[in-house]
Structure formats: C-alpha cells, structure tokens
C-alpha cells in the first residue's frame, strides 16, 4: 500500500476524525502557521480563591482512593501478577495507586505495537500532530489542571506552588513551545540556485521506537520525555517512575483524550533493569530519552554499546542526570539575596530538584550575617503534609531517599570537619520527613561537597575573603557534575572573572539569582559532564534529536554530458 493510501486510511478512520474534531473545538483560535507560544499564567491559590477551592475538591477526590493503573499498549490494558503500590510519601501507610510491572513479553508486545502504529503516525502531517498536543495543553491548562495538580501533590509530596509550577505550568509550556519549535525548525529548506534543480528537506521521525524513562520529581518531565519524540513523528514506550505513577498516568490519559492515536505512546510500568534489557536488545531501538541517576544512564549506554551490532540505526541517547549545584558568593554580593536565594534553591521540594543548590562557597566575613538570616528563615519554614497550604516542603519521595539522605546527615554528625548549623532531624514514623539541614565544613573537598545527595541538605564552606579566586577555581572542579550554578556578585571585575572561571561548570548559569527555576522558552535546561548530554529541553534545538532529515534533489533537465570540465 502506498504512503498516500496509508495516510488517507488513517485520517478517514472514525476515531481519528472524532479526535480531530475534539482538538479543533478546544483550540478554536489556534493557527499552526502563526501561533506564538507564551508561558502559562500561574494562579496564586490564595485564600478564598476559586482555584484553591477547586484544587481541594480534586484532592478530596483522590486522597482516600487507590487508583488502579494498568499497563496500556495500544487500546489494550494488561495486569500482571507483579503488583506494586505507590504510597503517599508524607503518609506512607496510604496507597495512592496500584500498578503492575510489565513482563519481558509484554514489553516486547509494546515495542511491536508501537512499530505497527509508527507508519501511519509518522505520515501524519506535523500540523495535525501538533494540534493533538496543543489540545492536551489546553486541557491541562483548564479542565484537567486540578487533576494533574492533585495527583502530583499526593503522589510526589509537592506543596501547592511546587505542583503548580511543575505539573500545570511547565507541562503546558513544554507542549505549547514544542509545537511552535517544531514548526520553526522544519521551515528550513535548502537552496535551489537554478530553475532546473529543486532541493528540499523532509523532516522524518526516526526509524524504530523511542523509550522514555522518566523521573519522579517532575510530572512535566514525564509528559515531556514521551511527547516530544511523538510530536516529531516518532512512537514512544513510556516507563514512568514507580513514585510518580499516578500523576504520569493522569497525563497519559489526557494525551489519549486529546486525540493521540493508540500505540503512539504506550504506557509501560516495569522494573528498570528488565525494561532496559528488553529495549536495548531490540534491533529497532531508535533512542532513549532519560532523566534519572548517573548510574542508570551509564548502564543504559553500556547496554546499547553491547548491542551495537544488532541495531538497524545507531540509537540516540539523551540523558539528564542531576548535579552537585553551587552558589558562589563574592564579598560584594547582596546579603539578603544570598540568604533568600540559597534557602529557596536548597530546600524547595526538599532539595529534590535536579537544579537544587547543594553547596555554597561564601566569604568568611559574610557568613555570620548570611547564616543568621538563613536561620531566621528556617525557623519560619514548616515541614508537613502538602494538604496544608502553609507548608514550605513535605516528605522526601520514599524510604530509599530517606535512608540515603539520613546517612549523609549521620556522616556529618560524626565528622570532625563538619558541623550541623540547622536541622539534622529525620523521622520516618509516618512520612519520610527530613528537616532542612545546613552543614558547615572546614574542608572544601569533603565528600559532602562533591557527592549528590538529592535531599534538603546544604553544605557551606566559608572561604578567606582575599582568596575568592582560588576557591572559585576549586569550586569549578570539585564536582563531577555541571548542571546548574549561581554566582552572587555586584563588583563588575569579579563578575567577569567568575563568569569565566565557571564557564564549563554549569549548563544553566545564574547571576544574582538562585540555581533553580528554569522556565521553558526562557532558560532551556541541561548540563555537561556527568550531568548529562545537555540537549537543552525547553529550547528549539532539543527537538532535532527526534528528527531524521532526508534531503532530496530533483533535477528537471536530462543529464547529457559525462565529460568532466577538467577533461576538456
């Protein structure tokens, strides 16, 4: 069957037409050729606001329910004997979701189903694919906003604001900006310098399937890692994090309701090593879109290398793997800005953002004042259930995270080089609660200044004021990561020196601002070194990872001469 016939049959199917009508009814003012994305406005959720009332209604709908979440392949649901539960981190006796690990055979079935769906999906015009994801964005922005908010708060222990900036605003931004970026990057066509030659570029999806392996800490990343390849004409197997299952399934259902055809994204909860083994052994693996630990990403890379001779095409690997992010303070910095920015960066969402500040370097003369301001803030910070709108942070994600973070705090308590300035208490009797902890060190090379903790723990090294350049150079090389970093400085000469010193130390760099808070379309995100492949999600270049460009030259006049010019 010709490609044209395949496309015609696909677009004529009743379900497909129904999806298209659904899309157009929700985004009536959307025009693909002229659309310009803008960042999603964020409501305040203030007292007596309609959004707060709606949110608590959604929370009440989910908080006493254990949602059954199947494996979804095409239009089929699967439930295996390997049953798992997602618990509420702040109340771990409560199960918020029941789900099932896919067996190797089911994972292979998901691959086969995706490959079957790929042909028609890849031939679907970009405008139609974008329309589906624009519809999903509109649904999340409006009628589904509180569902993604509530499931993120309950399952991942985010307070109201952290859920808003993630599950609602950032996910909407990813979807809308990617639609604009997809149009813009595919507008390029090569030169055709004469009327007898027509040169063109065709922007195809990659041959095979993509695997999206997504983290717990951002619902938006889960939805983005599977939808970005799909937008560009690919098919994806989405392996969500066990500890973000409910919110991720909510997003998956929204994609389907928005008109995404079955099989384009298959929802495949699975044991990580089993999933990795099956996908990397498939000759049709087109790529892996990953956010998670360095260890896991290295394992995937090694598995791909071991199977390299078996692949139809070289798989593309995208990885974002965390960091040991820094705040470096110069003596000219604004004291309050340093204190506020560092507390927010280090302790929002319990330090479980990839970009969270984990180490600070500060002049000895400034540290007493900054420390006191930080302590004053920390005294006001409340730790508790995200159902309480007054809390600043809640529990860490699970028992593994709790034990890992606690081990670093215990190490600090027993180290002669370290002293705990604030916090240090851990309690997992009801939820996985860790107090915001500040640790002062006399050794800038201590492991607590080098290793990723991924929790509410900040290490501080007060350096001699007149040796800032020496310690800036040290800070730039202390960690094997290079994700985010910030400098706080007013002096213009020092500013330029620090910018140059930290040139290779962060993929996202901030001047007089905290190291967290990248916004889609404003600060495309990604890091170097062991932090990842720095493909800059949230920017236009990211989408080229999911495109296989075909250049076509058509000559309109017959070829007659075989003699080369130099032969005459």
Dihedrals phi, psi of 329, to nearest 5 degrees: -110, 130
DSSP 201: E
Is 325-511 the same fold as 11-321+532-552?
no
Taking residues 248-253, what's their average pLDDT? Answer: 99
pLDDT tens track for 333-352: 999 999 999 999 999 999 99
Taking residues 263-276, what's their average pLDDT? Answer: 99
Q: How far apart are CA 247 and CA 240, in angstroms?
A: 10
- Weakest-pLDDT range from 406-410, 425-429, 558-562: 558-562
CATH fold of 11-321+532-552: Aldehyde Dehydrogenase; Chain A, domain 1 (3.40.605)
Residue 376 makes CB contacts below 8 A (sequence gap 6+) with none
Q: Which of 320, 348, 440, 452 is catalytic?
A: 320
The confidence band for 420, taking pLDDT boundaries of 50, 70 and 90, is very high
Is 11 a residue whose pLDDT tops 50?
no
The confidence band for 258, taking pLDDT boundaries of 50, 70 and 90, is very high
Task: Return the pLDDT at 17.
Answer: 41
Domain ranges across the chain: 11-321+532-552, 325-511
Q: How far apart are CA 189 and CA 200, in angstroms?
A: 6
The confidence band for 25, taking pLDDT boundaries of 50, 70 and 90, is low
Taking residues 255-266, what's their average pLDDT? Answer: 99
Q: How far apart are CA 9 and CA 304, in angstroms?
A: 36
Asked if residue 418 lies in contact with residue 292, where contact means CB atoms within 8 angstroms, the answer is no
- Please spell the DSSP secondary structure of 489-557, one letter per residue: ---HHHHHHHHHHTTTS-SEEEESS-S----TTTS-B--EETTB----BTSGGGGGGGEEEEEEEEE-S
Taking residues 532-554, what's their average pLDDT? Answer: 98
Asked if residue 137 lies in contact with residue 175, where contact means CB atoms within 8 angstroms, the answer is yes
Is 9 a residue whose pLDDT tops 90?
no
Task: Return the pLDDT at 30.
Answer: 86
Domain 325-511 belongs in CATH node 3.40.309.10: yes
The confidence band for 10, taking pLDDT boundaries of 50, 70 and 90, is very low
Is 5 a residue whose pLDDT tops 60?
no
Taking residues 283-295, what's their average pLDDT? Answer: 99
Neighbours of 3 (CB within 10 A): 11
Residue 210 makes CB contacts below 8 A (sequence gap 6+) with 226, 229, 234, 235, 236, 237, 286, 287, 288, 289, 546
Active-site residue 33, yes or no?
no
Q: How far apart are CA 267 and CA 101, in angstroms?
A: 11
The confidence band for 28, taking pLDDT boundaries of 50, 70 and 90, is low
Asked if residue 556 lies in contact with residue 544, where contact means CB atoms within 8 angstroms, the answer is no
Tokens 């803008």 belong to 38
**How would you label 363-400 residue by residue, b for 16+ Cβ within 10 Å and e otherwise?**
beebbeebbebbeebbeebebbbbbeeebbbbbbbbee
């Amino acid at each position: 069957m010709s490609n044209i016939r395949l496309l015609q049959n696909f677009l004529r199917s009743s379900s497909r037409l129904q999806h298209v009508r659904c899309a157009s009814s929700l985004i009536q003012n959307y025009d693909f050729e002229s659309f310009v994305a803008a960042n999603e406005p964020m409501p305040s959720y203030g007292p007596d606001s309609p959004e707060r009332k709606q949110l608590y209604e959604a929370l009440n709908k989910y908080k006493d329910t254990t949602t059954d979440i199947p494996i979804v392949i095409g239009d089929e649901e699967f439930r295996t004997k390997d049953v798992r539960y997602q618990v509420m981190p702040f109340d771990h006796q409560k199960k918020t979701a029941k789900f099932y690990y896919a067996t190797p055979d089911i994972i292979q079935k998901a691959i086969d189903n995706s490959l079957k769906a790929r042909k028609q999906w890849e031939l679907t015009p970009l405008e139609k694919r974008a329309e589906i994801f624009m519809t999903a964005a509109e649904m999340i922005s409006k009628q589904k906003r509180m569902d993604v908010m509530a499931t993120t708060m309950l399952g991942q222990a985010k307070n109201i604001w952290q859920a808003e900036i993630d599950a609602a605003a950032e996910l909407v931004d990813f979807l809308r900006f990617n639609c604009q970026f997809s149009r813009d990057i595919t507008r390029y066509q090569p030169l055709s310098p004469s009327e007898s030659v027509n040169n063109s570029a065709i922007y195809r999806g990659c041959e095979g399937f993509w695997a999206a392996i997504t983290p717990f800490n951002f619902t938006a990343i889960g939805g983005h890692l599977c939808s970005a390849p799909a937008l560009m004409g690919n098919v994806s197997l989405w392996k969500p994090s066990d500890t973000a299952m409910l919110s991720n399934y909510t997003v998956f259902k929204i994609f389907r309701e928005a008109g995404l055809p079955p099989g384009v994204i298959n929802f495949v909860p699975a044991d990580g090593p089993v999933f990795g083994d099956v996908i990397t052994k498939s000759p049709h693996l087109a790529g892996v879109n990953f956010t998670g630990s360095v260890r896991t990403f290295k394992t995937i890379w090694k598995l791909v290398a071991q199977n390299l001779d078996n692949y139809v095409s070289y798989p593309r690997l995208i990885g974002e793997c965390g960091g040991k992010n820094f705040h470096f303070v110069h003596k000219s910095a604004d004291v309050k800005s340093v204190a506020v920015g560092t507390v927010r960066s280090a302790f929002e969402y319990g330090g479980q953002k990839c970009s969270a500040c984990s180490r600070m370097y500060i002049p000895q003369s400034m540290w007493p004042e900054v420390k006191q301001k930080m302590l004053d803030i920390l005294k006001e910070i409340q730790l508790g259930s995200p159902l309480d709108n007054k809390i600043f942070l809640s529990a860490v994600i699970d028992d593994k995270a709790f034990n890992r973070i606690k081990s670093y705090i215990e190490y600090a308590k027993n180290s002669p080089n370290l002293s705990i300035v604030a916090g240090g208490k851990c309690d997992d009797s009801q939820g996985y609660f860790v107090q915001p902890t500040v640790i002062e060190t006399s050794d800038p090379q201590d492991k607590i200044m080098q290793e990723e903790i991924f929790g509410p723990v900040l290490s501080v090294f007060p350096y001699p004021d007149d040796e800032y350049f020496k310690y800036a150079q040290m800070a730039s090389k202390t960690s094997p990561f290079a994700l985010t970093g910030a400098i706080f400085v007013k002096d213009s000469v020092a500013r330029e020196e620090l910018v140059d010193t930290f040139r290779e130390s962060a993929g996202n760099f901030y001047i007089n601002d905290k190291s967290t808070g990248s916004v889609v379309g404003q600060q495309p995100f990604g890091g170097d070194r062991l932090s990842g492949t720095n493909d800059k999600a949230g920017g236009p270049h990211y989408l080229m990872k999911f495109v296989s460009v075909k250049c076509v030259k058509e000559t309109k006049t017959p070829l007659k001469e075989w003699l080369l010019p130099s032969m005459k």
